[in-house]
A and B are shown apart, each in its own frame.
Chain A
């Protein structure tokens, strides 16, 4: 019944879009871009063609390096110096006929009029695209005065109106605020207001929500979609997230290594993908929507009542100084009385938005950040160990059993060491292996994580992000740990690589008796990977339950709003249209 209603709604929106969709505003024909690198010419974009229609959204989707961002930048001719359009036309429809943007000279009046005037752009990172030394208002007013020739008073009134439209509270006062006084979501709203200032016909949004939390993302996408429909703009949305595509796109173009491999209506792309790459992309996305563990390993929780790690009222408070400078009356409780048990062979997910304290919690368990209060009990080989009371030396043996997998595969490997040295380091330090034995162990570990053992003499820069993450996992496994704490271990990876790494971890877990604490902001990853999920909000553990229960039937209002904000990679079942909002 519910599904029926959703489908009807989806059909309705499609019809409305159809009616409004008329003319083509922008046509890109056989666009090719080359980048001159030091040793080679990179054909970043090859023969790309698409059309933007009034009132419709085209999603350009692809993984990193697919050329989707440079395509968008080419439309505004803001490519880096070493890039150039080698062929193709970019036709912008106008009253007096179409203008071809591709051959316009840099800084020509036509081009300046188009940039920000007829085509608005929203970047991924609002902090770096807004000036930190000007007020929000002055930046928008500038655009208004430049493109719409308003006087100061008019421009200010219009700016307030724009800020109201993008739903910034108290626009009369917000106009005189600086960027740093705004949260990430607010900044992105201000950025949108700026892009809309000149009343553009086309809006290009380059990963507009990638840097934002999932609930903020839902709000921003909502907002963009509504503004687009009400203003009848054409939108080019660039994203790597198939969920976002399903929620907002009318038409989808899938890019892979510089080519659009498939174009079609959202429904066609999701339900009848033709190209092998589209299919694999969808497969890895949809795969993450199911729980891999629910049928495979729900058992150990029931049969093994003895936990391997036990947290009781663990807290970390910042700013409550007890020193002679006097205490702070407003201490920040980064982690607030968190208690849970981790069982052997179990995958425990910890989800939350940025600032919820989930990363700090992981660091507290390892004591790289010292807890303010509470206990961590580790049930190791012989007797239980109280981790908070360990000396520096005793902590080392705890760190051998409980290992960390990092988020950033580029920062977590020392670039000046070979793979053998990186993976072998914990073995050398603990004195477990030397010489030929070390080499053999490293080769074993490399094989375990699916890398060629011959690669051990190479340096990390020779590997891709996914391969580096495998090296990081091999290092974590080197000392036969019992618990792995994975802190956003897949957040920096493309979706297909993400699925591979998760499968690798699950596979390794099957072979070695491991427990995982999987910290992530990505609900779908947690759902795929974990037995139980703990939801954190402002330092507190809000709700804990099996992955299935948290994802399908959350009890707490915060969890409900969080889960309902996750974009669903199914255009016939848009989740965000009827999500639950949570207000404090």
Chain B
């Protein structure tokens, strides 16, 4: 038979481990849920980088007037469809020496009389000195403060600087893109804000009470999501009176987009509520005497917020794409409002793409960058949303 052997030592108090050298240890015992979410999220480098990009885009939108070299609708007919100018560091001075001078070179323009097409040739001799914090076209920051300082621009207000080229009316694409960022980024926010309100409220009610309430809400969701969206938008947008100001049209468009965007969020919230409603800790809170309001707001919703945040982040790019699509089709935002969709509208024909490809590249690049960044950020948030799952 087997010998009776044993280790002649006192029992150990815990499992044997060797610490890996991974910087400072995280004190998790008193770490709240958000700290844990952050700890998990910050391990995903791509998501963090995407978050930084999104943040910067919002800052760009916020300080658009200051960041844009000029006004978005200031046109110079002599420079229509002008190609991007190159930023150079050293300029040749009058005495022939090279000296540090931030500048762009001017164009010489010639018109082909047969086709009336303008062609621009870079003129090395024409130096347009540019610099930071220059005086330029006067504007009102957020419609409140009258200012005329721009972050970056030609030192002489009369000169031109088109780093990303111009459009067919001779307007600076960079300035328009920066102003478009404000509209395109915020239309997503406002739209998702309304979706969030509708989605969370209806999803919560539906999931918490179940029964016939759930039945009614779910059927509404099914009806809404069964509607073909593009024709519907077309119809609704056509119904907007032409006399309305572009700003009211902007809000109405947002509303329309969001009225159809809440269904996915509502379903997600409902599912989570269903699952959480029967969790032991919710039953415990119910037996503790908590009212239904307290159950929802104190016990269930806090468990959901990180999930909701992730879903919202993933919903934002759909809103941006929807706005871009609508504006591109000419039924969304219209000039003089500038959004990425409005900018793309100008790049609809082959001639533009052949002659002025920058009109397509930069706005669509902005949309792609934003949508990708949102998706990576949302994925990261979703993975980090529940720090308690094993």
- Segment of A41-49, A295-303, A433-441 in the binding face: A41-49
Question: Are A256 and B388 in contact, CB atoms less than 8 angstroms apart?
Answer: no
Which residue of the partner chain, among B1, B6, B283, contacts A265 with CB atoms under 8 Å?
A: B1
Q: Is A313 engaged at the interface, CB distance under 8 Å to the other chain? A: no
Question: Are B30 and A40 in contact, CB atoms less than 8 angstroms apart?
Answer: no
Which residue of the partner chain, among B4, B22, B31, B286, contacts A274 with CB atoms under 8 Å?
A: B4
A274 to B280, CA, bound (A): 41
- Segment of B107-115, B287-295, B319-327, B339-347 in the binding face: B287-295
* Nearest CB in chain A: distance from B274 CB, A: 15
Q: Is A358 engaged at the interface, CB distance under 8 Å to the other chain? A: no
Which residue of the partner chain, among B14, B17, B22, B32, contacts A459 with CB atoms under 8 Å?
A: B32
Question: Are A263 and B4 in contact, CB atoms less than 8 angstroms apart?
Answer: yes
Residues of B278-306 at the interface with A, using a CB-CB cut-off of 8 Å, are 279-281, 283-291, 294, 299, 302-303
Given A43-B17, A261-B6, A429-B289 contact (CB < 8 Å):
yes
Which residue of the partner chain, among B29, B285, B294, contacts A458 with CB atoms under 8 Å?
A: B29
A425 to B288, CA, bound (A): 7
Q: Is A103 engaged at the interface, CB distance under 8 Å to the other chain? A: no
Given A41-B17, A462-B30, A406-B284 contact (CB < 8 Å):
yes
User: Among A406, A407, A412, A415, which residue has the most Cβ atoms of chain B within 10 A?
Assistant: A415
Which residue of the partner chain, among A41, A411, A426, contacts B281 with CB atoms under 8 Å?
A: A411
Q: Is B228 engaged at the interface, CB distance under 8 Å to the other chain? A: no
Question: Are B30 and A457 in contact, CB atoms less than 8 angstroms apart?
Answer: yes
Q: Is A408 engaged at the interface, CB distance under 8 Å to the other chain? A: yes
Question: Are A40 and B20 in contact, CB atoms less than 8 angstroms apart?
Answer: yes
Closest to B13 in A: A257
A368 to B295, CA, bound (A): 15
User: Among B3, B14, B17, B31, which residue has the most Cβ atoms of chain A within 10 A?
Assistant: B17
Question: Are A275 and B290 in contact, CB atoms less than 8 angstroms apart?
Answer: no
* Nearest CB in chain A: distance from B144 CB, A: 40
Q: Mark A410-453, 1 if CB is under 8 A from B, else 0.
A: 01111110100000011001100000000000000000000000
Question: Are B30 and A42 in contact, CB atoms less than 8 angstroms apart?
Answer: no
- Segment of A139-147, A380-388, A397-405, A542-550 in the binding face: A397-405
User: Among A46, A275, A366, which residue has the most Cβ atoms of chain B within 10 A?
Assistant: A275
Q: Report A-chain residues with C-beta under 8 Å of the C-beta of B285.
A: 414, 425
The total number of A-B Cβ pairs within 8 Å is 148
Q: Is chain B's interface secondary structure helix, strand, loop, or mixed overall?
A: loop
Given A18-B1, A256-B11, A403-B20 contact (CB < 8 Å):
no
Q: Is B125 engaged at the interface, CB distance under 8 Å to the other chain? A: no
Q: Is chain A's interface secondary structure helix, strand, loop, or mixed overall?
A: mixed
* Nearest CB in chain B: distance from A451 CB, A: 13
A260 to B288, CA, bound (A): 45
Closest to B17 in A: A40
Question: Are A406 and B280 in contact, CB atoms less than 8 angstroms apart?
Answer: yes
Question: Are B284 and A277 in contact, CB atoms less than 8 angstroms apart?
Answer: no
Q: Report A-chain residues with C-beta under 8 Å of the C-beta of B291.
A: 429
Given A41-B18, A263-B2, A276-B286 contact (CB < 8 Å):
no
Which residue of the partner chain, among B10, B26, B32, B279, contacts A276 with CB atoms under 8 Å?
A: B10
Question: Are B11 and A429 in contact, CB atoms less than 8 angstroms apart?
Answer: no
A259 to B15, CA, bound (A): 10
Given A39-B25, A414-B299, A426-B289 contact (CB < 8 Å):
yes
Which residue of the partner chain, among A41, A275, A472, contacts B20 with CB atoms under 8 Å?
A: A41
Q: Is A262 engaged at the interface, CB distance under 8 Å to the other chain? A: yes
A459 to B37, CA, bound (A): 14
Q: Is B78 engaged at the interface, CB distance under 8 Å to the other chain? A: no
Question: Are A42 and B286 in contact, CB atoms less than 8 angstroms apart?
Answer: no
Q: Is B19 engaged at the interface, CB distance under 8 Å to the other chain? A: yes
Q: List 5 A-B contacts (CB under 8 A).
A: A39-B25, A261-B6, A264-B5, A366-B287, A458-B29
Query: Which A residues lie at the B interface, using CB under 8 A?
Result: 18, 36-44, 46, 51, 65, 251, 256-265, 268-269, 272, 274-278, 280, 366, 368, 396, 399-400, 403-404, 406-408, 411-416, 418, 425-426, 429-430, 457-459, 461-462, 472, 475
Beyond A259-B12, A404-B287, A426-B289, list 9 extra A-B contacts (CB 8 Å). Answer: A39-B20, A263-B5, A399-B287, A404-B283, A412-B280, A413-B281, A414-B303, A429-B288, A462-B28
Query: Which B residues lie at the A interface, using CB under 8 A?
Result: 1-8, 10-12, 14-20, 22, 25-26, 28-33, 279-281, 283-291, 294, 299, 302-303, 388
Query: Which 6 pairs between the two chains have the least Cβ-Cβ distance?
Result: A264-B4, A462-B29, A262-B6, A412-B280, A426-B288, A277-B11
